[in-house]
Structures are given as structure tokens and as C-alpha cells.
Amino acid sequence: MAGGVIRHATGDDRAPALRRIAAAEPGATWTDPDICRRNPLLAVRLRRSVLMRCYNGDYHTDVFDEARLAGRIADGWERVLFWGPEDQVSRVAELFHAPGCPPGSVLDGLSLGTHTSLPGEELYGRGHVEVARTGSTQGDSAGATEAILWDLGRILAGARKGEVLHTLSCVPRNRRSAHGVPGGAAIHRLHTRAVGSRHWGVAPFYVMVGGSLELLDYREVSFEERYVRHGFATCGTVHMSDTVSASLVADLCELNGFDVNIRTVQAEPLGLRDAPAPARPGDPHGPG
């Protein structure tokens, strides 16, 4: 599979390229997410094991409520992908076909990477899928590239049955590893060089080891470009409250090849929540 198949397939070429990916069988170095439905509790625990080791035991995302998350995986709501060396992936397949869950020491002995796709409607709107919970105990992204491209292609081409999908949303980390804190440079390179997802700004909320906060990229990749162009055509004029924000939005649209009409409108400043509004002349509801 060519590394740039998603990045370089645009317009009318993208959908057939993604369908070719979707038709391919999983490789020997990753699992089909459907295998997790054989033992959803094992999937929850194995994913958490990978992420906790990746982030030195200091991980703050939704991976701990075993009963609820196992239910989401069993229902296909969350699809978990694992990748790694061939012998490790073979061992994972054996575990999923065996009854019960092995002890944590067995899971912690596996060298793997993982990511999860889940519906993104609540965060991003109808037709979006979020890709999250990404981490790896591997030293580089070499094993991740083929696995993630296969999974993203299948998702966009309709592997999530019963859902109308057009866009994958993700917030890959962009800092390098330093001072004992693992970075996200490898996955970021995958998104920019292999997937070719669009950059639409930053998400300033990622809690890292020690409680520090990171800025992440906000990126999207669409099944077909016409979905995005239709969205811009539908939204019409974009109203911004100041020239700095308007300039940022204009630059992001230009970066991604879209023209948008932006209008700057001076907005009234927001008051503190539950604070009394200042009295205005002739206002019967103002303070007496």
C-alpha cells in the first residue's frame, strides 16, 4: 500500500482509492478492530495498558470505566486498532480467541500501538468520526503507518456500518519527546505526510504528564472534497468579532484552498456570568 494514497488521492480519485484500501485484508502487523468485539473487556484493558505505558502512567482520557467502555466496543461504537511486530500481533489475536482476560502482567509485556475511532457528532457535528486514544510503546511510527492508513481508509469508505460519514476529525500532538515526556512527532508526521489531513487550527486542552497542557493540531480528512466545498458554499458569510480572528480564519481557509467571505462585526463584550447588568438610561430592568 502506497504511503501517500490518501494524501495524493483528491477529488474524484479519493473515493475509489479509499475503497481499494477498504477491500484489502489487514496486514500481519495489525489487527482488524472487529476482533475486539470477541472480548471487549480485553480490548479495554489492553488499550489502557498501552496508553499508560506510553504516557508513564499519567493518562487522563476516557479509558478507565471498564463496564461502560466494553459495552461501547461490543456495540461497535468504539473501534480499537492495535499494531506492532508480527509476533506481538499474533499473540494479541491468540488472546482475543481465548476465553477470559489474562493478568495485567501479560498485557504489559506486549509491545504495541493503538488508536480508537468513535462517533464525533457531539463534538464536531453529524457525519464526523473522531480518531483518538493514540499511543505506542514502539520506538517509531514505521509500524503504525500502514495500519493507520488501512484503518482510516476503511472508516472513510464505510467500515462503520449504519453511519453516514464524510469527515475524520483528529487532534494529533505535535511536540517532540523531551525531559521524559513522550511526544507526538511520529503520528504528526503520519498525518501531514502520509494522510495529508487539513490543518484547521489548534486545540489547547491536552493534559500531559505532570498536569502540563499542550497545544494540539486540529486536523480533518474528508472522504470527498465536495463535502467540504458544499459546507463553505452553504455557510455564506462568516462573521468575526475582531480583525485578528478574521485574519486567522482567512489564512486557514486559504491554506486549505477555500475562499470564504469574512465580515468583521464588533460584538458587545460578555459580562460575568450571573453578574447584574449595568443600568442604561430608560432601562426599567436596570438597578434602581
Per-residue pLDDT of the chain (288 residues; tens, 9 = 90+): 333 445 544 444 556 666 677 677 888 999 999 999 999 999 999 999 999 998 888 787 889 999 999 999 999 899 999 999 999 999 999 999 999 999 999 999 999 999 999 888 888 888 888 888 988 887 655 578 888 888 887 887 765 555 667 788 888 887 777 776 677 777 787 777 777 788 888 887 777 766 777 788 888 887 767 777 777 778 778 888 888 888 888 888 888 878 888 888 765 655 655 655 554 444 444 343
Query: How many domains does the chain contain in total?
Result: 2
* In a shared domain, residues 27 and 116: yes
What is the C-alpha separation between 20 and 29, in angstroms, rounded?
19
* In a shared domain, residues 245 and 210: no
* In a shared domain, residues 13 and 103: yes
In a domain, 286, yes or no: no
In a domain, 126, yes or no: yes
pTM for the full model? 0.76
List the domain range (segments joined by +) for residue 260: 236-268
Q: What is the pLDDT of residues 218-228, one digit of tens each?
A: 888 877 677 77
* In a shared domain, residues 214 and 253: no
In a domain, 133, yes or no: yes
* In a shared domain, residues 49 and 122: yes
Q: What is the pLDDT of residues 203-214, one digit of tens each?
A: 877 777 667 777
In a domain, 162, yes or no: yes
DSSP state of 1: -
What is the C-alpha separation between 131 and 119, in angstroms, rounded?
9
In a domain, 91, yes or no: yes
Check: CB of residue 128 under 8 Å from CB of residue 167. yes
In a domain, 147, yes or no: yes
What is the C-alpha separation between 141 and 192, in angstroms, rounded?
13
* In a shared domain, residues 259 and 135: no
Residue appearing with cell numbers 491468540: 94
Last residue of a domain, one of 165, 200, 223: 223
DSSP-derived 3-state class of residue 178: strand
